[in-house]
Amino acid sequence: GRLLSGITPDPRIVELDQRQPEFVSPVWDYVTNRVTANRIDGGRNLKAAINPTLEAVQARYGVPSGIILGVWGLESNYGEAALNYSAAAALATLAHEGRRRAQFEGYLLALAEMVERGLADPAQLRSSWAGALGQPQFMPDVYLTTAVDFDNDGRRDIWNNRGDVAASIAHYLSDRGWRANEPVFEEARLPSGFDYALADGTLRTVADWAERGVAPIGGGAWPEAHLGLQAQLFLPAGAQGPALLLHHNFGVIRRYNNSDRYALVVALLARAFDGREGLVQSWPRQLGSLTREQILELQTLLNGLGYQAGEPDGLFGSRTRTAVRGFQTSQNLAADGF
Ligand code: CA
């Protein structure tokens, strides 16, 4: 009752929830706008400030501190991003709006449980407009199962306590299957005449990829310890851009935010914190990107030609990619689905 007293629907939140972007930015803009000197410096400074805590978190959960910091930097700019909404008001507004009523009623009940159990201070429950809590941006159900009281003060304070924040992010990733001492991705060089249709999400061992001529970008051979790992080949910008072997942990980062480009940025930030290089191959920026309307038209045309792009929705998903591959193959083009 106290949690909801005086709350009225917030029209700003409804407007934000109903906004649809006209186009999705190209992957190279997404990466460049997030792997910035500022964000790299911010991560390094935070690491220097709380290194013993990060080391202890890494030792407990097996997740490297660079990955924790990468997620932290993207979710809340290391806690510097303003949380402009009351979580109760944001969740209640989205439940009231009705598009995802049951889901947000569930979040609201979880929020009440957080307070009832004394895990969080009710005065502290700030969120994004979508109801994501604190510096790791957890929804309330995730908070209940996953947030950690790392300093043992009785509160899982993901708003102000950096140890609680770092441990909560690491716990989330370890809980979803993070494998210590395995890479996230490795950049690859493809042989000439390579069949780009192999970059269709199929898992093969690194040894198998090596037999097909897929080599480390820096030359030489793949590390012995990686040869038995399962990886998929990923061309985020098609045949003219970088080629990446994605390992299991790449998919684990996607569990935090279901986006390939998000996972790629987290991994690139982690490398940058350690002073390691970013991608060697350049992005094919000259290719530009499609608007939602253009993607809709593409899907309609592909369906008309008998390629199954699915119900046209203006979003370039895996079915559209498969349909584009089919068309490219029929035209003797590089079947990269891009
Ligand atoms: Ca605590």
pLDDT in tens, 87-96: 999 999 999 9
For residue 318, what pLDDT is reported? 83
State in Å: Cα 136 to ligand 1 middle. Answer: 14
Of residues 317 and 32, more confidence is placed in 32
Q: How confident is the model at residue 1 (pLDDT cuts 50, 70, 90)?
A: low
State in Å: Cα 43 to ligand 1 middle. Answer: 22
For residue 332, what pLDDT is reported? 92
State in Å: Cα 273 to ligand 1 middle. Answer: 26
Percent of the chain whose predicted confidence (pLDDT) is above 70: 99
Which residues have C-beta within 8 Å of that of residue 219, sequence separation ≥ 6? none
State in Å: Cα 154 to ligand 1 middle. Answer: 6
Structural contact between residues 299 and 319, judged by C-beta atoms closer than 8 angstroms: no
State in Å: Cα 156 to ligand 1 middle. Answer: 5
For residues 300-309, give the mean pLDDT: 96
For residue 315, what pLDDT is reported? 86
Q: How far apart are CA 168 and CA 138, in angstroms?
A: 9
State in Å: Cα 133 to ligand 1 middle. Answer: 15
Q: How confident is the model at residue 212 (pLDDT cuts 50, 70, 90)?
A: very high
Q: How far apart are CA 57 and CA 141, in angstroms?
A: 22
pLDDT in tens, 8-58: 999 999 999 998 766 678 999 999 999 999 999 999 999 999 999 999 999
For residue 3, what pLDDT is reported? 84
State in Å: Cα 77 to ligand 1 middle. Answer: 21
Q: What is the mean pLDDT of the chain?
A: 95
State in Å: Cα 157 to ligand 1 middle. Answer: 5
State in Å: Cα 141 to ligand 1 middle. Answer: 18
For residue 23, what pLDDT is reported? 67
The helix (run of H) or strand (run of E) holding residue 240 is none
State in Å: Cα 166 to ligand 1 middle. Answer: 11
**Cβ count within 10 A of residue 9:** 13
State in Å: Cα 274 to ligand 1 middle. Answer: 28
Instruction: Tell me the two tokens of residue 56.
Output: 């202890």
State in Å: Cα 119 to ligand 1 middle. Answer: 9
State in Å: Cα 53 to ligand 1 middle. Answer: 13
State in Å: Cα 150 to ligand 1 middle. Answer: 6
State in Å: Cα 151 to ligand 1 middle. Answer: 5
State in Å: Cα 155 to ligand 1 middle. Answer: 4
State in Å: Cα 159 to ligand 1 middle. Answer: 10
Beta strands in the chain (DSSP E): 85-86, 126-127, 185-189, 204-205, 215-216, 230-234, 243-246
State in Å: Cα 253 to ligand 1 middle. Answer: 24
State in Å: Cα 147 to ligand 1 middle. Answer: 10
State in Å: Cα 143 to ligand 1 middle. Answer: 13
For residue 5, what pLDDT is reported? 85
Q: How far apart are CA 57 and CA 40, in angstroms?
A: 20
State in Å: Cα 160 to ligand 1 middle. Answer: 9
For residue 316, what pLDDT is reported? 86
Which residues have C-beta within 8 Å of that of residue 34, sequence separation ≥ 6? 74, 265, 269
Task: For residue 136, count CB atoms less than 10 angstroms from its CB and return exposed for 0-12, middle for 13-18, buried for 19 or more.
Answer: buried
State in Å: Cα 170 to ligand 1 middle. Answer: 15
For residues 108-117, give the mean pLDDT: 96
State in Å: Cα 320 to ligand 1 middle. Answer: 46
State in Å: Cα 57 to ligand 1 middle. Answer: 13
For residues 96-101, give the mean pLDDT: 92
